[in-house]
Amino acid sequence: MILQELVRFYERQRNLQDSDIAPPGWIRRPLDYIIVLRDDGQCVDLQPLFTVENGKRVGRPELLPSIGKQALKHTNSGKDANLLWDNASFVLGVGNRGAMKLESFIQTINHWFPGATDVGVRAVGLFLRSLQTDPAKANALIERFSATADFDDRDPVLAFRLASDGPINVHERETARRDYAAQTAALLVDAVRGRCLVTGATDVPLALNETVLKGVWNSQPAGANLVSFNAAAFISYGKLGRTEEIAPVGSSASAAYSTSLNFLLASPRNRVQVGDASTVFWADSPSRFDGEFTLADFFGENKDDPGRGVRAVQALFEALKGGQLPVAERDVQFFVLGLAPNAARISVRFWLRAPLSELAPRIAQHFDDLRIVRCYDSDPVTPSLFRLLRDLALQRKLDNVPPRLAGEWMRAILEGLPYPALLLNAAVIRCKAEQDVTYLRAAVLKAWLNRDHRRQHRHLPATYSHFKETLDMQQTDVAYRLGRLFAVLERIQQQAMPGINATIRDRYYGAASTTPVAVFTTLLRLKNAHLKKLADGPAAYFERLIGEVLEPVTDFPRQLTLPDQGRFALGYYHQRQAFFARKDAADTPTTKEE
């Protein structure tokens, strides 16, 4: 199913008039320089194609021949040159093992263009043989065109062009393309043939090796594979040495799905990093939420346009609330694929196919569940998964996010399921470890608790919120009330001792949220001492507030479960934000005059 949909995506993209996806046998890679040659192989120019963005040179994307894995990443052998384009070490023979790489580059051209008939290919051959004869020419050429500093800093990518051809590169010449296509077809004649498991086609050439996939976070730098075998335990009986027959995929289908995945992984509009899961998405036909906005806008971080995510969510809510979701788009199928590294392979974390009519309400419900009163105006109204996960991680580093958490959370959002228990655990642990319930952690706790409540009471509508966006004076849950009580006691201490460096939160939050009976008797005694320092009005206000908070509490629990600890944290956060939101007697200087 996954590979079939990727092949269909490739075919749809290929039929688009201005498609950026590469045709079979080609790849889109950035070029840094063009070596301009005369017909006799003499170099007349070295044209830079790169631009400088944020102090970094960025090459211009071009369509280039792809003859193997080296199109994405070279091995350490130095003998895997690309065809008519490559790094300067291969094209000019400069740097470490330059002579061997140059020889590999020449042999590759000779192999793919035996007895070259194309004028441009012959000119390239003459140029390369002159470099072999006199290696000093390479550095002299670089110096002549004032590119020494750039070539010393990096290994730029180069291709060729004839001076008489104008903007057409050698590999784009009609004769060169025809010869390349003919040689590619000839290589398939001797390939093992069979039935393709993806397309169902029979008697087709089978792919010997899958093109490597790049862009999956923390996978092998040289690329990894979705389908591969490297041990006898994975090989079917009688297929040893013929791995293409174990999971037979046609060469064209293999090229299509691997090209599609590399295209999606490289596209910021089709990819978002959710913890350790590199997530890609696409649709089977045009849609407003795959054109004007994409799923990356809902879950990712757009550094160039920070407000894009907010606009995307607002547009989604307006479309759903006003019934403005176009009828023609409701049945548009969206596909979501979560990938994670697994040694030299790539594992599938989750796979989802759903129409927009189902997916849009689930995404909207996610943001509705997260909505909670903010601490500061700068807090994001629609926080991305990136921010939420980072706030749940030790030292706020994504590397410390618990394994599988991101993938399971994303899957729960898109399938409309309760959030994973691991999410609650991560949020509660961070609150206790740092003695702080931040805006993002409170949003996660509220969302988790509301979804869990709806799971336990299935008769409730999907929009029901057991815990509200702001302080709920009517909420009688004991753990929630104890969290509110802790916030009130902290506020009393702060009013009685202005400028105090450490409050009861710094000393008692972990114990109060876990074993209330062991802590609150002590805290209530401290409260009496603090109230004596306040004026009569504020003291009476706090006494009334404590009475209101404790009204449904008959006894302090010996221990709180993990969900109760989440309710405690949410009650604490709500009550604390209520103090900052209201201007009443509790917020004015209230100590007694001596």
User: 454 CB contacts (<8 Å, ≥6 apart)?
Assistant: 418, 460, 462, 464, 466
Cα–Cα dist 572/576, whole Å: 6
What's residue 345's pLDDT? 84
Banded pLDDT at 564 (limits 50, 70, 90):
very high
Cα–Cα dist 515/358, whole Å: 42
Mean local confidence (pLDDT), 64-87: 90
In the numeric block, which tokens belong to residue 502? Answer: 């450490």
Mean local confidence (pLDDT), 436-441: 96
Cα–Cα dist 548/431, whole Å: 26
What's residue 61's pLDDT? 92
DSSP 212: P
Cα–Cα dist 194/71, whole Å: 27
Cα–Cα dist 64/157, whole Å: 11
Statement: residue 589 has pLDDT above 80: no
Residue 158's beta-bridge partner residues? Answer: 33, 86
Banded pLDDT at 584 (limits 50, 70, 90):
very low
CB 442 within 8 A of CB 569: yes
User: 440 CB contacts (<8 Å, ≥6 apart)?
Assistant: 379, 383, 387, 388, 391, 392
DSSP 411: H
Nearest one of 91, 88, 113 to 104, comparing CA atoms: 91
Mean local confidence (pLDDT), 3-10: 93
Give all strands of the β-sheet with 43-48 in edge-to-edge order.
43-48, 33-37, 157-162, 85-87
Element (H, E) at 146: none
For 365-382, what is each residue's pLDDT tens digit? 999 999 999 999 899 888
For 271-315, what is each residue's pLDDT tens digit? 888 888 889 988 887 665 555 567 777 777 766 666 666 677 777
Statement: residue 242 has pLDDT above 90: no
Domain ranges of the chain: 2-11+191-266, 32-184, 274-456, 478-587
Statement: residue 522 has pLDDT above 60: yes
Percent of the chain with pLDDT over 90: 57
- Per-residue HEC secondary structure of 111-122 comes to HHCCCCCCHHHH
Cα–Cα dist 90/107, whole Å: 11
Residue 273's beta-bridge partner residues? Answer: 278
What's this model's pTM, rounded to 2 decimal places? 0.81
